[in-house]
């Protein structure tokens, strides 16, 4: 079981790095939004500091939505998804490996580059730490919840709009806790509470969504 | 396990595609050393039947039994004996043929000699090229390699001869007959001749869907 998980994970990473042009699109989108924001809002340092965490979190959420479209689409079209569904390994585990690989190649770069972009908003050091922590704990939940939607819409043509509509209500709690905690950190408060809650959402998503994703994939294949 | 009892049986199946009824009351079985070939006009439900028997689609009605047990209940056991090759090839286009085969073999926990297989399929020269650079026929061969190298008993092939050249067709027919001779089971959809020895083959003609 662990071996199958590792096999799928490694294959996903290999495929992702062979076509890195697809990989950088969400990252470029994230960077563009986060650099345009300070330019458009203007010189007022106080306002920038206040909107910074929220803007960066929204950009991260939208960049995730952008990348989720292709999570299962290609596997659906080239038949690898049905081959995965016909193995003896639990489908939920194999899809979790795919989702984890998706997080590593699309979300982790966002987390890494976020501190640099936070400078553009003039965020204090404590705020930057808070932002990175909340993104690190919160973005796995975005990938996991997103995988369910991506699995449901894998067989549909032109479903990008539908996917966004499906996922936005489910991802809003992550956004609220993440952005709010990052803002609190910037004001010098302790963020242990919201961070734990965010971790709780991620754990909940980790335990429940793989089964939903597997069921959704079976429906899409039918 | 008693290998002599390998048998896939389906009783009274109804197939639907969306709100269109394709077939009703389909029954049949394939046993050790036997091939069942599905024939019929386009759109009559050959692919749907194969996918339903594999467990990829749900049957509206009827039951599918593997060794007398419903496949829905023993999915893992059933899939351990099954290899399927459909219209789409199941290969990642960014990986090489060798990597694709290695992944499939590892997933099934086998480390077979890939070179023999690649050689037989005439894919040796392009084994280390990404699948996207292969021709349609070569891709079909690579996709068949997933099934031929799987080591499973039941092979389900949807139009396996598509895109193959004459030599490829002959080679495939020989391999399919070998598989049957070794006690394998075969389910296939084929427009042209299936290349299976007549004494081992059962034909199922599916009627066209009513206009």
**Residue in B192, B105, B196 with CA at minimum distance from that of residue B151:** B105
The span from the CA of A16 to the CA of A75, in Å, is 12
What pLDDT does B135 receive?
87
Q: Is A24 a residue whose pLDDT tops 50?
A: yes
Question: Could you tell me which residues are beta bridge partners of residue B16?
Answer: B21
Q: Is B112 a residue whose pLDDT tops 80?
A: no
Q: How far is A217 from chain B (nearest CA, A)?
A: 10
What pLDDT does B211 receive?
45
CA distances from B183 to A203, B4, B33, B82, B186 (A): 48, 9, 4, 14, 10
Structure letter (DSSP) for residue B206? P
Is the CB of residue A87 less than 8 Å from the CB of residue A4?
A: yes
Question: Which of A19, A85, A88 is opposite residue B94, by nearest beta carbon?
Answer: A19
On whether any CB of chain B is under 8 Å from the CB of A89, the answer is: yes
Task: Tell me which residues of chain B have a C-beta less than 8 Å from any C-beta of chain A.
Answer: 54-58, 76, 79-80, 82-84, 86-95, 99, 103-104, 106-109, 130, 146
What pLDDT does A214 receive?
94
Is the CB of residue A194 less than 8 Å from the CB of residue A202?
A: no
Question: Which of B90, B93, B99 is opposite residue A83, by nearest beta carbon?
Answer: B90
A219 to chain B: which residues are within 8 Å by CB?
none
Say if the Cβ atoms of B82 and A86 lie within 8 Å: yes
Which range scores top for mean pLDDT: A198-212, B74-88, B177-191? A198-212
Q: How many CB atoms lie within 10 A of CB A118?
A: 26
- pTM to 2 decimal places: 0.91
Say if the Cβ atoms of B92 and A15 lie within 8 Å: yes
Average pLDDT over residues B126-147: 87
Q: Is B1 a residue whose pLDDT tops 50?
A: no
Average pLDDT over residues A72-85: 89
Least confident of A9-13, A212-216, B85-89: B85-89
The span from the CA of B89 to the CA of B100, in Å, is 11
A89 to chain B: which residues are within 8 Å by CB?
107
The span from the CA of A140 to the CA of A26, in Å, is 16
Say if the Cβ atoms of A87 and B107 lie within 8 Å: yes
What pLDDT does A109 receive?
93
Q: Is A212 a residue whose pLDDT tops 50?
A: yes
Say if the Cβ atoms of B56 and A82 lie within 8 Å: yes
C-alpha R_g of chain B: 17
Strands B185-189 and B154-158 come out as parallel
Average pLDDT over residues B4-24: 82
> Which tops the pLDDT comparison, B41 or A92?
A92
B94 to chain A: which residues are within 8 Å by CB?
14-15, 18-19
B130 to chain A: which residues are within 8 Å by CB?
18
Is the CB of residue B173 less than 8 Å from the CB of residue B196?
A: yes
What pLDDT does B3 receive?
53
The span from the CA of B143 to the CA of B209, in Å, is 30
**Residue in A62, A53, A17 with CA at minimum distance from that of residue A126:** A53
Torsion of CA B130, B135, B136, B138, to 10 degrees: -70
SS (H, E, C) B131-146: HHHCCHHHHHHHHHHH
Is the CB of residue B84 less than 8 Å from the CB of residue B52?
A: no
What pLDDT does A126 receive?
87
Say if the Cβ atoms of B104 and A79 lie within 8 Å: no
Average pLDDT over residues A164-177: 90
> Which tops the pLDDT comparison, B20 or A172?
A172
Max CA distance (Å), chain B: 50
Q: Is B131 a residue whose pLDDT tops 50?
A: yes
On whether any CB of chain B is under 8 Å from the CB of A17, the answer is: no
Average pLDDT over residues A189-212: 92
**Residue in B182, B188, B211 with CA at minimum distance from that of residue B201:** B188
**Secondary structure E strands in chain A:** none
Least confident of A87-101, A200-214, B25-39, B104-118: B104-118
Question: ipTM beyond 0.90?
Answer: no
Q: What is the pLDDT of chain B when averaged over all its residues?
A: 84
The span from the CA of A114 to the CA of A60, in Å, is 9
The model's pLDDT over A34-68, given as tens digits with 9 standing for 90+, comes to 999 888 888 788 888 888 889 999 999 999 998 88
């Amino acid at each position: 079981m662990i071996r199958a998980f590792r096999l799928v994970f490694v294959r996903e990473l290999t495929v992702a790095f062979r076509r890195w042009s697809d990989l950088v699109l969400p990252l470029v989108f994230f960077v563009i939004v986060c650099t345009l924001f300070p330019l458009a809002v203007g010189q007022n340092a106080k306002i920038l500091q206040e909107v910074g965490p929220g803007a960066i979190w929204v950009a991260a959420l939208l960049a995730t939505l952008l990348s989720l479209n292709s999570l299962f689409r290609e596997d659906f079209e080239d038949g690898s998804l049905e081959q995965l569904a016909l193995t003896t390994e639990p489908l939920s585990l194999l899809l979790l490996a795919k989702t984890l690989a998706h997080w590593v190649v699309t979300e982790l770069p966002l987390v890494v580059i976020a501190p640099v972009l936070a400078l553009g908003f003039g965020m204090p050091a404590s705020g930057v730490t808070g932002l990175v922590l909340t993104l690190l704990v919160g973005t796995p939940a975005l990938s996991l919840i997103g995988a369910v939607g991506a699995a449901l819409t894998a067989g549909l043509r032109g479903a990008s709009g539908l996917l966004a509509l499906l996922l936005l209500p489910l991802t809003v709690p992550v956004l609220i806790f993440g952005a709010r905690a990052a803002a609190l950190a910037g004001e010098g408060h302790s963020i242990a509470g919201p961070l734990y809650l965010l971790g709780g959402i991620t754990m909940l998503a980790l335990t429940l969504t793989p089964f939903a994703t597997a069921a959704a994939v079976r429906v899409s294949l039918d | 396990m008693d290998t002599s009892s390998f048998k896939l049986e389906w009783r009274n199946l109804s197939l639907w595609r969306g709100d269109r009824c394709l077939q009703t009351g389909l029954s049949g079985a394939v046993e050790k050393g036997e091939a069942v070939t599905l024939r019929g006009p386009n759109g009559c439900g050959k692919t749907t039947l194969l996918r339903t028997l594999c467990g990829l689609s749900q049957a509206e009605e009827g039951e599918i039994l593997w060794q007398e047990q419903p496949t829905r209940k023993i999915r893992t056991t059933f899939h351990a004996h099954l290899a399927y090759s459909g219209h789409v090839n199941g290969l990642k286009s960014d990986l090489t043929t060798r990597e694709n085969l290695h992944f499939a073999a590892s997933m099934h926990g086998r480390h077979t000699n890939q070179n023999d297989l690649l050689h037989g399929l005439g894919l040796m020269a392009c084994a280390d090229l990404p699948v996207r650079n292969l021709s349609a026929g070569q891709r079909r061969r690579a996709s068949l390699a997933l099934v031929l190298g799987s080591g499973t008993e039941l092979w389900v092939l949807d139009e396996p001869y598509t895109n193959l050249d004459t030599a490829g067709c002959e080679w495939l027919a020989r391999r399919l007959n070998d598989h049957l001779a070794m006690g394998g089971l075969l389910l296939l959809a084929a427009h042209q001749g299936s290349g299976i020895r007549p004494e081992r083959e059962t034909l199922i003609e599916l009627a066209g869907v009513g206009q």
